[in-house]
Chains A and B, each alone.
Chain A
């Protein structure tokens, strides 16, 4: 009797593990709203009329997009789970189906930077990739 009870318990446990493993894939991700302030707090070095192209490159690296020669740069940015700013590599920026992107989604946005003729920052803006920015 005890043996059969153990067997039933064991089978139930195995079944539970199998179901838990299967159901893990159905876990609904927590949807985080993109807050501009999360990004802006990490981009305080950007100041119109003061920050140079050189400063931007030293802080963010090569842009993922570049327009009108060197006048407009774009970067794909994300905020990690611990609040740190990530500049995403180009392959993630280009391939929205890369599973590594899901770690950040939907906290991913594009930073667009416009420089003046003299290479100093004219303006910048954040554009939400998958959600409206607050």
Chain B
């Protein structure tokens, strides 16, 4: 009977562990993304030059450069993701989300890297893009003086 009790306890613990989820939206708030992942504070005094200096070329421009979009991903593989790591990730992605997400978010916060994806190197970083925890777009609208008029962040990862 003792064995039965222990088994039930273990099974219950395993099931409950899966319920220990961290909401994606509650973790990756706009405030968190601006403070943790953008290397420059963005406001109405920020110039195009300052942004390009910190983030590089935008992923896409619209209306002759008046609007710039930075497609950014946050991932854990600072030195690039090799085939073995990608295979491990592919196997792990089917685990119940709650079992790995909290750990992954915290690990990402401490060890992660930001990558601005441009059409030129999209193919090179395909594995990191697919496996990234988070993708967000920084949208910047510049005024005539080349300073930021409006800006916004849009999260992309489900």
B11 to chain A: closest residue by CB: A17
Interface residues of A (CB under 8 A from B): 6, 9-10, 13-14, 17, 53-54, 57-62, 70, 78, 80, 84, 86-89, 91-92, 95, 99-100, 103-104, 119
* Chain B, 133-153, CB within 8 A of any chain A CB: 135-137, 139, 141, 150-152
Given A87-B154, A100-B93, do A57 and B4 touch, yes or no (CB 8 Å)?
no
Whether B158 contacts A54 by the Cβ 8 Å rule is no
B156 with A61: CB separation less than 8 A: yes
Chain A residue with minimal CB distance to B136? A61
**A7, B94: Cα distance in complex, Å:** 34
Docked CA distance A59–B94 (Å): 30
**Is A58 a contact of B139 with CB atoms below 8 Å?**
yes
From A54, A91, A103, contact of B129 by CB (8 A): A91
Cβ-neighbour of A58 out of B25, B59, B66, B152 (below 8 A): B152
Contact A89 B135 (CB under 8 A): yes
Q: How far is the CA of A61 from the CA of B73 in the complex (A)?
A: 13
Q: How many contacts between A and B, using CB within 8 angstroms?
A: 70
Is B60 a contact partner of A62 (Cβ separation < 8 A)?
Answer: yes
Q: 8 tightest A-B contacts by CB?
A: A61-B137, A61-B154, A58-B152, A89-B156, A62-B69, A89-B135, A57-B139, A58-B139
Interface residues of B (CB under 8 A from A): 1, 3-4, 7-8, 11, 25, 59-60, 62-63, 66-67, 69, 71, 93-94, 129-130, 135-137, 139, 141, 150-152, 154, 156-158
Beyond A57-B139, A91-B130, is A14–B7 a contact (Cβ under 8 Å)?
yes
Q: Whose C-beta in chain B lies nearest to the C-beta of A7?
A: B3
Cβ–Cβ contact A104 & B158, under 8 A: yes
| A interface secondary structure, majority | helix
Whether B158 pairs with A80 at a CB distance below 8 angstroms is: yes
> Which residues of B sit under 8 angstroms from A103, Cβ to Cβ?
158
Measured between alpha carbons, how far is A103 from B158 in the docked complex, in Å?
A: 9
A79 CB to nearest chain B CB (Å): 11
Partner of A87, one of B59, B62, B156: B156
Are B141 and A59 in touch, CB under 8 angstroms? no
- Between-chain CB contacts (< 8 Å), 14 pairs: A6-B4, A9-B4, A13-B7, A53-B62, A54-B66, A54-B150, A57-B67, A58-B150, A58-B151, A58-B152, A62-B59, A70-B62, A89-B156, A99-B93
Q: Establish whether residues A57 and B3, one from each chain, have CB atoms under 8 Å apart when the complex forms.
A: no
Bound CA span A95–B90, Å: 14
Task: Please report the C-alpha to C-alpha distance between residue A104 and residue B157 in the assembled complex, in whole angstroms.
Answer: 12
**A29: min CB distance to chain B, Å:** 15
Assess whether A61 is in contact with B139, with CB atoms less than 8 Å apart: yes
Besides the known contacts A61-B71, A62-B71, 19 further A-B residue pairs in the complex with CB atoms under 8 A apart: A6-B4, A10-B3, A14-B7, A53-B67, A54-B67, A54-B150, A57-B69, A58-B139, A58-B151, A59-B154, A61-B69, A61-B136, A70-B63, A87-B156, A88-B158, A89-B135, A89-B156, A91-B130, A104-B158
